[in-house]
Chain A
Amino acid sequence: MIPISYYFALSAILFSLGALGVLIRRNAIIIFMSVELMLNAANLLFVAFARANGALSGQVLVFFVIAVAAAEVAVGLALIVIIFRNRQSIDIDEMSSLKG
């Protein structure tokens, strides 16, 4: 009923918006959220193609992506908390030195 190209287009738009967010925002947490948006767009395409091919492997793969995203968020947010404690800022332009 719905062509798969519609899902492709929606996923491409969401992915591009995520990439735009990574490029234009300076707040590290917002950049992180944009990365989640990109992961989510890829998940949508995975499920759409799994449906088009009648195979369940795509859905299993999305399950793994969700699990990996959860792990990534836990570690990434811990890093952001440490950086904020050290520098009192999460502006990525201020994280330009390696001295810590």
Chain B
Amino acid sequence: MNGELILFFVLAAVAIGAALGMLFSRNAVYSALFLILNFATVAVFFLLLGAPFIAMAQVTVYAGAIMVLFLFVIMLLGAEQIQHQARRGWQRPLAMLLTLALLAESAYLIFTRSDLLTVLEPAASDYGNPQAIGMLLFTEYLLPFEVTSILLLAAMVGAIVLVKEDRKKSGGQK
């Protein structure tokens, strides 16, 4: 058992544990912090897979910006300790059953497809460096890149308009 394999299993345990912690903690702030831990471990997996640019984007955009937004909204709403209403009793067992079915299907795929067993060879030294990804982004994927910028603009305007409209309405009612 070499070092990389040990690293993989330890990180996988941390990632799965963090995901479980997110699911089952009562406090939404703890959930968000567990999710940040999960994103950080996945970023290390990206590094292991030879994707340093994606790993850094994961840390800055996901673990940084997105999760700060989540924490901000949780604390803005004071929603960290929302009590559960009486839920229908059959929902939780059914959800467990469906999730197990999904997991079983994935396991079936893993064990029947022999081409998934290929062992990852050490990549070329320039594989996945930011320069290569930048070249690909601005040549082959230029149109999707520009569309993404429009999408981000639309999301920004949409978020502002959604919240502003509400404020105007409540101001008019006074």
Question: In the assembled complex, how far is the CB of residue A7 from the closest CB belonging to chain B, in whole angstroms?
Answer: 7
Judge whether B23 and A17 touch: CB under 8 Å.
yes
| A46-83 near B? 1/0 per residue, CB < 8 Å | 01101110101101101110111111111101111110
How many angstroms between the C-alpha atoms of A63 and B66 in the bound complex?
A: 14
Assess whether A5 is interfacial by the CB under 8 Å rule. yes
* Contact of A52 (CB < 8 Å), options: B39, B66, B85, B118: B118
Judge whether A3 and B117 touch: CB under 8 Å.
yes
How many angstroms between the C-alpha atoms of A2 and B117 in the bound complex?
A: 9
Judge whether A23 and B116 touch: CB under 8 Å.
no
| Those of B1-36 within 8 Å (CB) of chain A | 2, 4-5, 8, 12, 15-16, 19-20, 22-23, 28, 31-32, 35
A contacts with B: majority SS: helix
Judge whether B12 and A4 touch: CB under 8 Å.
no
Judge whether B8 and A19 touch: CB under 8 Å.
no
Hey, which chain A residues are within 8 Å of B16, CB to CB?
A: 10, 13-14, 17
How many angstroms between the C-alpha atoms of A6 and B151 in the bound complex?
A: 34
Count of A-B contacts judged by CB separation below 8 Å: 236
B contacts with A: majority SS: helix
Judge whether B12 and A36 touch: CB under 8 Å.
no
Known A8-B110, A33-B32, A71-B155: A64·B148 in contact at CB below 8 Å: yes
Question: In the assembled complex, how far is the CB of residue A74 from the closest CB belonging to chain B, in whole angstroms?
Answer: 5
| Those of B66-113 within 8 Å (CB) of chain A | 66, 69-70, 73-74, 76-77, 79, 82, 84-85, 87, 91-92, 94-96, 98-99, 102-103, 106-107, 109-110
Interface residue tally for chain A (C-beta within 8 Å): 71
| A21-43 near B? 1/0 per residue, CB < 8 Å | 10111110110111011001001
How many angstroms between the C-alpha atoms of A30 and B22 in the bound complex?
A: 8
New A-B pairs, 5, CB < 8 Å, besides A30-B23, A66-B54:
A33-B35, A40-B39, A50-B49, A63-B137, A91-B82
Taking Cβ atoms with an 8 Å cutoff, the residues of A that contact B are 1-10, 12-21, 23-27, 29-30, 32-34, 36-37, 40, 43-44, 47-48, 50-52, 54, 56-57, 59-60, 62-64, 66-75, 77-82, 84-85, 89-91, 93-94
